[in-house]
Amino acid sequence: MSWADSVSVAENLAGAPPKSAYVPPHLRNRPSADPPAQASYAGTAAFGNDHGGYGVPNVVGSRWSGQRNEYQSGFAGGGGRGGGWNSRSGGWDRGRDREVNPFKDADSEVVGEQESSAINFDAYEDIPVETSGENVPPPVNTFSDIDLGEAVDENIRRCKYVKPTPVQRHTIPISLAGRDLMACAQTGSGKTAAFCFPIISGIMRGQFPRPPRPRMAFPLALILSPTRELSCQIHDEAKKFSYQTGVKVVVAYGGAPINQQLRELERGVHILVATPGRLVDLLERARVSLQMIRYLALDEADRMLDMGFEPQIRKIVQQMDMPPPGVRQTMLFSATFPKEIQRLASDFLSNYIFLAVGRVGSSTDLIVQRVEYVQETDKRSHLMDLLHAQKENGVHGKQALTLVFVETKKGADALEHWLCINGFPATAIHGDRTQQEREHALRSFKTGKAPILVATDVAARGLDIPHVAHVVNFDLPNDIDDYVHRIGRTGRAGKTGLATAFFNENNSSLARSLSDLMQEANQEVPAWLSRFAARSSYGGKNRRGGGRFGGRDFRRDSSYNRGATTDYYGGGANMSSGYASGGYNASYGAAGVTSAWD
């Protein structure tokens, strides 16, 4: 199996150094002589007009007056490379000298992280792409086709990204055109950069009013994600993409001391990456205002809008001081997008484009999926057999990490303990562990000190951990979308991976959607699973509507159009395959209220 080929024998690795005091990840590796907090937007004449801009209208004065299309007109004019942002004279440049270089940070001990950029683009050649909405801007083929600005281009080179992934090819031009977007693309396909690049570039080029109050933070962009670890990861990525651009990225998440985050915010922030709970806290303390938000991105957007998070998201987006849709630009990203969530999400969007890249859920054929029938009582010994077999085949250690998903926090603790006493170094992550413990677990796993991580769904979404070779669904989730995200922790950025699921009667309600998903991904479906599937209906929260894509634009459903005189999106969507996406050309540029594809 291809994932096995890349395995090397485990080595004795030193563990993470003991910590005397808790230092949140985003504050680690800072120079010791950190400058004192400055009054406001320190280190940047943040929103002043002292940079040679891109001729963008100033929005000072009227709160909503900066209509999106107006202030982004700088993009249309091209602005040329370089310009004010890349000169070393503007206020933004002050402070860059003391910026920590994120490209040589301490994570070098995380094995082979640099290599992760060697993406196998052939794996994406045949990927189906579907877009719908009015006047969809055409995709690009290379990063040089997009004018993100020299400083961002330099960071793309430093990241060793040779060309954009399919989701980046399609979404970056859409975002740069100022359009709202709902994007559905398979796990591990580069969605983070897809929303970060246009935001950073837009902030570099825009001219924004000076923040009205000194001790309050007025971010221009807000990126929300459902877990602390994912927010930290997005923050780390965004720091790389914005290095030496003058754009300041700050992260705020629960479980870490709020005072450090407050101090960081006081130093100035352009892009705030946050988990919803901590952000609500900051808003209620009146330490953050959203009134200057121009960009809103929800990562794992379907999760952010499901029952657990929706009230908090509505509060943040609709009940505080954030500019409304049409004034701000809103981008929603996920690998899965159930229709009822799309319907909810449309409240947050204005005349948006829907994009689906890839088949339902996972990275198509990159992940080999296996389902094994295992009774509840046999699960541990079955896992042990798998792990022993891996060891015998040399598939273990720091180059071949194994992620085991379980249902409950107690179950995670118990399995971790059992694995350890049986000679398999394991660690665990779940919501009852302290933030320090969670981070320690993740680090031990990433470095290979504990090459087995037992996790609840807290680790199911977004985490990009190099060298996860095997995902085991020890307990299957109830929702097929959760399965998609879980197995997506392997087979990322063009690499292959293996996912094994333990199935028994308790999982009957998942049988049909699991069997459909596997079929769509050209996986071998065992005959016994097909029999289970034939007996069961789509149960529980399995809400996939069928079809080849991870989510179809719900606006194309007849129920959405009931009562309308024309079938607004009835003409169908643009569909294309691979990089030669011819479909959009016919429709691009077509104007009017009716569908461009009628």
Ligand X SMILES: Nc1ncnc2c1ncn2[C@@H]1O[C@H](COP(=O)(O)OP(=O)(O)OP(=O)(O)O)[C@@H](O)[C@H]1O
At 549, give phi and psi (nearest 5°). Answer: -105, 155
Identified binder of ligand X from the candidate list 488, 491, 497, 550, rule CB under 6 A: 488
For ligand X, give the closer residue by CB, 51 or 169. 169
Contact region with ligand X (CB under 6 A), list: 25-33, 271-279, 487-495, 519-527: 487-495
For ligand X, give the closer residue by CB, 115 or 126. 115
For ligand X, give the closer residue by CB, 390 or 399. 399
Smallest gap from Cβ 167 to ligand X, in A, equals 7
**Could you give the CA distance from residue 14 to residue 22 in angstroms, rounded to a whole number?**
20
CA–chain centroid gap for 501, Å, is: 24
Number of residues in contact with ligand X, rule: CB under 6 A? 21
For residue 18, give both structure tokens.
């003991």
Q: Would you give the binding string for ligand X spanning residues 159-178, x where CB under 6 A is met?
A: --x--xx--x----------
Strands (E), 393-541: 401-405, 426-429, 452-455, 468-473, 497-503
Task: Give the up-direction half-sphere exposure of residue 112: CA atoms within 13 A in the CB hemisphere.
Answer: 15
Identified binder of ligand X from the candidate list 169, 179, 191, 294, rule CB under 6 A: 191
Residues within window 567-586 making contact with ligand X, judged by CB under 6 A = none
DSSP, residue by residue, 434-463: -HHHHHHHHHHHHHTSS-EEEE-GGGTSS-
DSSP classification of residue 211: P
Smallest gap from Cβ 475 to ligand X, in A, equals 20
Residues within window 415-474 making contact with ligand X, judged by CB under 6 A = 462, 464
For ligand X, give the closer residue by CB, 470 or 556. 470
For residue 335, give both structure tokens.
């690998």
Smallest gap from Cβ 244 to ligand X, in A, equals 19
For ligand X, give the closer residue by CB, 43 or 361. 361
DSSP, residue by residue, 29-79: T--SSPPPP-SSSTTTTTTSS-S---SPPP--SSTTTS-HHHHTHHHHT--
Smallest gap from Cβ 537 to ligand X, in A, equals 28
Of 434, 427, 432, 430, nearest to 453 by C-alpha is: 427
Q: Would you give the binding string for ligand X spanning residues 110-129, x where CB under 6 A is met?
A: ------xx-x----------
For ligand X, give the closer residue by CB, 128 or 411. 128
Kindly state whether residue 358 participates in binding ligand X, applying the rule CB under 6 A: no
Residues within window 132-161 making contact with ligand X, judged by CB under 6 A = 161
Smallest gap from Cβ 83 to ligand X, in A, equals 24
Please report, for residues 117, 304, 415, the alpha-carbon distance to residue 164 in angstroms, rounded to integers and kept in the order given. 11, 26, 40
For ligand X, give the closer residue by CB, 403 or 419. 403
Query: Which helix (H) or strand (E) segment is 575 a member of?
Result: strand 574-577
Identified binder of ligand X from the candidate list 90, 178, 190, 268, rule CB under 6 A: 190
Residues within window 193-212 making contact with ligand X, judged by CB under 6 A = 193
Residues within window 312-341 making contact with ligand X, judged by CB under 6 A = 335
Q: Would you give the binding string for ligand X spanning residues 267-286, x where CB under 6 A is met?
A: --------------------
Smallest gap from Cβ 208 to ligand X, in A, equals 27
Identified binder of ligand X from the candidate list 189, 473, 513, 542, rule CB under 6 A: 189
Identified binder of ligand X from the candidate list 86, 131, 175, 187, rule CB under 6 A: 187
Smallest gap from Cβ 492 to ligand X, in A, equals 5
Maximum CA extent, the chain: 70
Smallest gap from Cβ 481 to ligand X, in A, equals 11
Of 176, 180, 168, 148, nearest to 301 by C-alpha is: 180
- Partner residues linked to 197 by β-bridges: none
Decide if 143 contacts 163 (C-beta within 8 A).
yes
Contact region with ligand X (CB under 6 A), list: 184-192, 248-256, 377-385, 520-528: 184-192
DSSP, residue by residue, 482-514: HHHHHHTTSS-TT--EEEEEEE-GGGGGGHHHH
Smallest gap from Cβ 334 to ligand X, in A, equals 7
Decide if 148 contacts 80 (C-beta within 8 A).
no
CA–chain centroid gap for 436, Å, is: 22
For ligand X, give the closer residue by CB, 219 or 488. 488
At 223, give phi and psi (nearest 5°). Answer: -115, 115
Identified binder of ligand X from the candidate list 86, 171, 175, 192, rule CB under 6 A: 192
Edge-to-edge strand ranges of the sheet holding 271-274: 249-252, 271-274, 221-224, 295-299, 329-334, 181-185, 353-357, 128-132, 574-577
How far separated are the first and last CA of the chain, in Å rounded? 46
For residue 430, give both structure tokens.
């779940």
Smallest gap from Cβ 467 to ligand X, in A, equals 11
**Could you give the CA distance from residue 104 to residue 16 in angstroms, rounded to a whole number?**
18
DSSP classification of residue 471: E
For ligand X, give the closer residue by CB, 165 or 330. 165
Smallest gap from Cβ 259 to ligand X, in A, equals 30
For residue 158, give both structure tokens.
């430093």
Of 147, 105, 335, nearest to 235 by C-alpha is: 105
Residues within window 72-91 making contact with ligand X, judged by CB under 6 A = none
Decide if 3 contacts 498 (C-beta within 8 A).
yes
Identified binder of ligand X from the candidate list 110, 493, 498, 501, rule CB under 6 A: 493
For ligand X, give the closer residue by CB, 117 or 506. 117
Contact region with ligand X (CB under 6 A), list: 58-66, 182-190, 346-354, 435-443: 182-190
Identified binder of ligand X from the candidate list 173, 188, 211, 477, rule CB under 6 A: 188
Smallest gap from Cβ 561 to ligand X, in A, equals 30
At 205, give phi and psi (nearest 5°). Answer: -95, -20
- Partner residues linked to 297 by β-bridges: 223, 331
For ligand X, give the closer residue by CB, 117 or 393. 117
Q: Within 10 Å of residue 245's Cβ, how many Cβ atoms?
A: 26
Question: Under the rule (CB under 6 A), what is the footprint of ligand X?
Answer: 116-117, 119, 161, 164-165, 168, 185, 187-193, 335, 462, 464, 488, 492-493
